[in-house]
Amino acid sequence: MPELPEVEVTCQGLIPHLLKRQIVSVCWSNKRLRLPVPRKLLREKITNNRISAIGRRAKYVLIRFQDGSVLIFHLGMTGKLGMFKSSTPAAKHDHLRLLLDNNLELRFNDVRRFGSVSVWPAERAESLEQTFNKSQGIEPFGPLFTGQHLFQLAQQRSVPVKTFLMDSRVIAGIGNIYANETLFAAGIHPQTKVNTLTKTQWQTISKSCQVILKKAINAGGSTISDFLGSSGQPGYFQLQLAVYGKRGESCSQCGKSITKTSLAGRATFFCSHCQPL
Ligand SMILES: [Zn+2]
């Protein structure tokens, strides 16, 4: 499932191919995604419009147009955005194809269809974006992602720290893999109640999280040159993981065995020696 690094790397890979290009035509499958595909808006607001910027907010890809309209993708569980030559035959689960004025196509492929495509038309884009931003948590690379601020946010809550890190209304873009890895790096047990953590512990969490996400983005960034390769997507990349998926393996810090449990229905990996409760 794409988390912040995968979405960030996708954006960075798209920029050189999409920036300043005009959308010539749009076509879609007849399948419903998590939300219905906004065909009328794609036809009226996006077709013949020119791309002015590409960026990420939380786990969303935002493609901005010169008139102020915005096209928003969420990758869901299996969504992928890729660039293809228009002569490349469409794949089975390509649900949206945008033909550009350089004969390339931006294609949204999504096997399980939990992803979504939305359009904010220029005349309402500003207010829609404000509402959207309010519904999203703070950015791990933004100015609010400090030990002090996280400590304050946690005071009214008593959920386990792993659940807190993965709550997209609190913090943007962190899913199961990076929540597990952050807590291992910070030496904090995933079940620790958030309101019992000290400011210093929150500082360690925020720093560990940024280091891990940055490493993952860099690992993915090295595959960007392949963006327009045979797959049309950035190559498979994976941060060297320390605990996620490592049940029974030796902890890299102390050599003891990695434990797996379930927390809020999600697979949770930790070292009970390095991350005591
Ligand atoms: Zn250990």
At 145, list the tokens. Answer: 């992602």
How far is ligand 1, taken at its centre, from the CA of residue 160, in Å? Answer: 20
Give the residue with greater pLDDT, 268 vs 225: 268
Q: Which fold has domain 4-135?
A: N-terminal domain of MutM-like DNA repair proteins (3.20.190)
Going from the Cα of 127 to the center of ligand 1, the distance in angstroms, rounded, reads 48
CA 159–ligand 1 middle distance (angstroms) = 24
- Ligand 1: centre distance to CA 162 (Å): 18
Q: How many CA atoms lie within 13 A of 14 on its CB side?
A: 29
Look up residue 159 and give its amino acid. Answer: V
- The reported pLDDT for the residue numbered 189 is 98
Per-residue confidence (pLDDT) for residue 230, from 0 to 100 = 47
Contact 113, 33 (CB under 8 A): yes
> How many Å separate Cα 209 from the centre of its chain?
14
Strands 94-100 and 266-270: what pairing? Answer: unpaired
In the chain, what are the domain boundaries? Answer: 4-135, 147-270
How does pLDDT run across 215-234, given as a tens digit for each residue?
A: 988 887 666 555 664 455 55
d(CA 157, CA 211): 25
Distance 239 CA to ligand 1 centre (A): 19
Say how far apart CA 27 and CA 264 lie, in whole Å: 39
Scanning 24-64, the segments in alpha helix (DSSP H) are: 39-41
Q: How far apart are CA 218 and CA 196, in angstroms?
A: 33
Please identify every residue annotated as catalytic. 2-3, 59, 266
Identify the CATH number of the domain defined by range 147-270.
1.10.8.50
Residue 14 Cα to ligand 1 middle (Å): 39
Say how many C-beta atoms besides its own lie within 10 A of residue 231's C-beta.
13
In this structure, how many other beta carbons lie within 10 angstroms of the beta carbon of residue 203? 16
pLDDT digits (tens, 9 = 90+) for 122-180: 999 999 999 999 999 999 999 999 999 999 999 999 999 999 999 999 999 999 999 99
